[in-house]
Amino acid sequence: MMAKASTTAEPPAEGDEQGSAGKGKSPVNPPIIEVGVKQLRAAMKAVSGAIESRNTIPVLSNVLITCDGRRLFLTGTDLDLMIETTVEAQKARGISVTVGAKLLEDIAKKLPAEALATMVLDGNQLVVSAGRARFRLPTLPVADFPILTAPEWLHEFECPASVWTQMIDRVGFAMASEEARYYLNGIYLHQTPAGLLGAAATDGHRLAVFRTDMPDGGEGLTSIILGRKAVGLVAKLLDDLKPGDDGVSPEVEFATDGKKARFDFGTVTLTTKLIDGQYPDYTRVIPIGTDKRCEFTPSILREAVDRVIVVTTEKTRLVKAVFGGELLQLESVSPENGRGTEELAVAHEGGELTIGFNGSYLLAVLDHLAGGPAEVLMTDPAGPTLWRQDEQATSFYVLMPMRV
């Protein structure tokens, strides 16, 4: 695994003065940072995701800045999650300080992109300048800045960024956001009975599952729940990763001990605490022994559903679907707005079935069944329904019905 660079600042040079007398002279190597504004912007964009806009602890609104000679290290945290990033600089020595993250990010956005930013520590203020622009920013003690310590990782492996992106895209939309069942507010990462790397998310009304080959080193993976905020930040950091010149997706290193997890993107590392809770056995809601199957084109069905729910309100969003023969009949009714109906051609096997769905949830599932054809497997009006491309698909979805 790639060794992590130390983020300990190099101490200021002492007694290293010009001339032999030395007294009153400027040090040869004064504490200073010189870094490109464009690089500073990118680094602040990465770490600011971990920093909450409102904090009862003042230092949590700050970014920790340290350096080691040629590299600049920036760290942001909210106590549960921490993002560290490394920036190559022109000079980076002798400074260890915390400064307001939003303020520094806003300044970096206003400075010319091609300019060189200089940072010098003057007492309890950080002086930031570029060209004729100059800012004096208040600081807080470095000793007050909390760091999420790295444990002894039990599992470590590498997985292509494209796989992580696909995983989050396929299941992330089904995460819950409620206080009562907090353990549903994230993605459940685990090893499946077949030895695959599995990811699942559910809010109790819908379930999304993604499975892929287990990377080397992930065997016996401890089941964990990655929180909603961490999932969102990982997704954003993945968006910033570009394939190499050979078109190959870069590897993202992952590590966990069951209580914390780390994603290493190269110059950016995200460390997060995990949700402490028991994830439900989602396999119990996956329908088996279904006797009705309908094959359809996802994009066509999505457009039809999107049209008929125009008459519904945000509270109802009910779509009645009548499966049977070669037609699927859709209907939505609202006391205030009337009725919307549409029919589309499908290939249905089994007896006729009338079932209700939440239109918004159905649209989300159809959005993730890109291409075609796809199928839905059903049993009765009250039972869960299984949506997938085919039996070999890496992802599938379970949608609970609504009473018609």
Reported pTM: 0.89
pLDDT at 8 exceeding the cut of 80:
no
CATH of region 155-282 = 3.10.150.10
- Whether the CB-CB separation of 234 and 175 falls below 8 Å is answered with no
In tens, the pLDDT along 19-58 reads 334 455 555 567 899 999 999 999 999 999 999 988 899 9
Instruction: Please calculate the CA angle 155-158-161 and round it to the nearest 5 degrees.
Output: 130
Most confident region among 40-44, 66-70, 369-373 by mean pLDDT = 40-44
- Whether the CB-CB separation of 165 and 123 falls below 8 Å is answered with no
Q: Can you give the pLDDT at residue 19?
A: 39
Listed by start position, the domains of the chain span: 32-144, 155-282, 287-399
Cα dihedral 63, 67, 70, 74 in deg (nearest 10): -20
Model confidence band, residue 325 (pLDDT cutoffs 50, 70, 90): confident
Q: Can you give the pLDDT at residue 27?
A: 52
What is the CATH architecture assignment of 32-144? Roll (3.10)
- Does domain 287-399 sit in CATH 3.10.150.10? yes
- Type of residue found at 232: G
Cα(298)–Cα(371) distance, integer angstroms: 7
In tens, the pLDDT along 195-244 reads 999 999 999 999 999 999 999 999 999 999 999 999 999 999 999 887 77
Strands 353-358 vs 347-349: parallel, antiparallel or unpaired = unpaired
Model confidence band, residue 3 (pLDDT cutoffs 50, 70, 90): very low
Cα dihedral 373, 378, 382, 383 in deg (nearest 10): -100
If 0-12 CB within 10 Å is exposed, 13-18 middle and 19+ buried, where does residue 172 land? Answer: buried
User: Would 32-144 and 287-399 be classified into the same CATH topology?
Assistant: yes
